[in-house]
Amino acid sequence: MAEPPLHIEIFSGARGVQLGQQTINVIAGNQYFFNGGGDLVARLNPIPDASHTRDRKTSPPDSACFPGTREGVITEITTWANAVDSEPGTEDREIGTTVSALVVYTPTPHIYWLHGFAGCGKSAVSLKIADIFEESGRLLASYFFFRNAGDRSTMRRFAVTLANQLASALPATMPFIETALRADPGLLNSCVSLTRQLERLVYRPFQAVMAGDILEEALTKGPFIIVIDGLDECEDRQGVEEFIDQMLDFFETHPDIPLRIFIASRVEQHIRERLETDGVRLADLNRHSPHKDIEKFLQVSFQKVAKRDRVIRTYVQARGAWPTRSDMNKLISHINGSFVLASSMFKYIVQPATAEDPLSPMERLPLTLNMNGLDGLYTRTLALSQHIPHFRNVISTIALLKQPLPIVDIADLLGIEAFEVVRVLLNLQAIIHVPGTDDEADVTLCHTSLRDFLTTENRSGSFFVPRSYHLHLSYYCLSSTIERPSALAYDYGRDHLEAHWQSFADSEASDFINEIEQFKAHQPLLVNRLAYHAFLCSMLFCTLLTKSRPLNDNLYLITECTKQLALAAECHDHRIQVWLEKGLHYGFLSHVSHTLRFTEHTYEAQQHDLRRASAAIYAKFPEILERYPTSSGMEIEIDHLSSWWSGIDIFNVLKWIVTRARFSFEFEEVSPADSDVTCDADSASSSPDYNLLYTQYVSSAYVVCKRR
């Protein structure tokens, strides 16, 4: 029976009604009004370069399927995505003592997990799948994670980015997303759980519009799809687990909803243990032999370069086809199914000759056959630039940056010239994307496996980038904010100082004190002393209050922190006032409770250095010392204008800690049996003896920080 035509009356009998840019959605007979998408995008603040439409040169991964390749796996994935229910099959079941063939209807899993080793082409397949379903109008969203790419390596803006793409793909969801934001104004706060954000901004709005024409379209064309690539690249493991658990629960609760989620990642334990379940279709990309695809890629690529490279063209005219059939077979066998290795080796072979590497493509090809896979290629390529000044700093910085930077920003951060960065990178274009301009596009790795190589010592050898280099990066971050407040790297330094220091301080592999001392020993004499002393003072202070470390570490921290405070205060630098009053952008500590124990020698050193700092500050800015914190004797209260620890805050807290330290004794109980003194039975006592171990000063610090 046909449904009666839909009849809607809007503002019946109303006069003088004015509507701006309004959109009216009618879903299942209900009317929903919203003001258009511009305001919604601004409120959601999605990541602009996380989808398949991003500029892959500046926002990796830069992977795409070569024309005519990966057709088998792509067909398999599209077949899954297009299916509503799989065809019935048979399954042998034992019933009693009789084996019977039962007709089994297996619902199509809502989730497809494509996994494989690094460099086998997962991201290229993800891009192709996103393109296919965007063209058919069924792509809801795509998200490409990438390690050390700012928020793209976390779950922080994952939900809002999906919600923004959902609203664009299905405009009917906009009013429901708007309603969720109005009903819960704090929904976009970073402290709100990922589960709640995904439920309110993605799952519920999609469910709400699955009625009427939209549902009919989904049933006719096929389910909608979300593509998520590089889930293993997300550094927030807990967030990944939370996302997977919620996704599985959602589809278990709504088995008929026309939605598919495609995920591509490496096999990481925290992902595998959740996705190896009945509700997920598992596929190993390595199962689809890539040798024919790699052969096609290499043949076409070598043919193209031969047309524009005069050296290759002349060689072919004189010697015949190049590479030869034998060379090609050896190269394909050596590549062993790795698309990233195929691409990187091709770039290495045909890159222009330089003074450091004058070899021709014909001379380079045999060398690649002796390389130990990607590691061999990375080692040989990096060796071309290792003699160039600033090589280690430039490569280590690119490997550990929290988000990519242009050439000029890298130079500003390191305090060197842009041309010096370019000199290092020119020979590395087979493995690092070097933009054509110095000040716009970012320098990025061709593949994330290069970062894995550089940060794994038994693979990279002399090119190893230790986690302790984060100590140097945190110093460069601070220097850019104190020395060069108008520099291009200022924003990066302000935003990522804490993250780099935490990466260093939290590293279990590093000898904290030894690393600090090595850092101090390698600082050149011409280094800006204010930035150097302020950096050490501030970072050691925050570590002292926030990290639980052994007694010897705490003794070092408080001694070195107070010493660096005095040295910073004594610097003849007009920028000292900036640090004393504004300080560093470091995580806000609302309450800190800590008991510090230090020797008499340490105690006296603290008093001496605090007197030095007080005298230096008073000589320059006497009014600053008049701003005393509130103290009840048991705790100290710091009034903050922001989340920054200023130099004067550090001075006041250290002074308070040292002032309230109390002298005490530490004894060791010794039983009479262990005593060296002999005594007869009549004089023996059951009372234990005590040996004095050491004397110490104890200060229990309870710091309360409040924002004004």
pLDDT for the residue 76? 96
pLDDT in tens, 690-705: 444 444 555 555 544 4
Higher pLDDT, 263 or 277: 263
- Picking from 707, 552, 566, 529, the residue whose alpha carbon sits closest to that of residue 647 is 566
pLDDT for the residue 437? 75
pLDDT for the residue 628? 59
Predicted structure pTM score: 0.74
pLDDT for the residue 126? 97
pLDDT in tens, 539-598: 888 888 776 666 677 788 888 999 999 999 998 888 888 888 876 655 545 455 656 666
Residue 547 near residue 610 (C-beta atoms within 8 A):
no
The share of the chain scoring above pLDDT 70, in percent, equals 77
Which residues lie closer than 8 Å to 59 by C-beta, 6 or more apart?
49, 50, 144, 146, 149, 152, 442, 444
pLDDT for the residue 624? 78
DSSP H or E segment with residue 700: strand 689-707
Residues 433-458, mean pLDDT to the nearest whole number: 87
pLDDT for the residue 371? 87
| Lowest pLDDT segment from 32-41, 175-184, 294-303 | 32-41
- Using the predicted structure, report yes or no on whether residue 72 has a pLDDT greater than 90: yes
pLDDT for the residue 101? 43
- Picking from 622, 611, 528, the residue whose alpha carbon sits closest to that of residue 575 is 528
pLDDT for the residue 219? 76
Q: Is 215 helix (H, G, I), strand (E, B) or coil?
A: helix
| Alpha-carbon span 553 to 572, nearest angstrom | 30
For the chain, what is the total number of helices (H) and then of strands (E)? Answer: 29, 18
pLDDT in tens, 198-233: 999 999 999 999 877 777 877 788 999 999 999 999
- Using the predicted structure, report yes or no on whether residue 74 has a pLDDT greater than 60: yes
Could you tell me the maximum CA-CA distance found in the chain, to the nearest angstrom? 114
pLDDT for the residue 684? 39
pLDDT for the residue 581? 81
Q: Where are the domains of the chain?
A: 30-286, 291-367, 371-522, 528-708
Work out the mean pLDDT of the chain and round it to a whole number.
81
Q: Is 22 helix (H, G, I), strand (E, B) or coil?
A: coil
Q: How confident is the model at residue 288 (pLDDT cuts 50, 70, 90)?
A: confident
Omega before residue 688 within 30° of 0, cis: no
Backbone angles phi, psi at 452, to 5 degrees: -60, -40
Higher pLDDT, 674 or 596: 596
Taking phi over 0 as left and psi of -120 to 50 as alpha, with beta for the rest, 615 belongs to alpha
- Using the predicted structure, report yes or no on whether residue 354 has a pLDDT greater than 60: yes
- Picking from 450, 459, 377, 391, the residue whose alpha carbon sits closest to that of residue 426 is 391
pLDDT for the residue 385? 94
| Lowest pLDDT segment from 75-79, 101-105, 289-293, 386-390 | 101-105
Residues 393-408, mean pLDDT to the nearest whole number: 94
- Picking from 158, 192, 162, the residue whose alpha carbon sits closest to that of residue 177 is 162
The share of the chain scoring above pLDDT 90, in percent, equals 47
Residues 648-669, mean pLDDT to the nearest whole number: 71
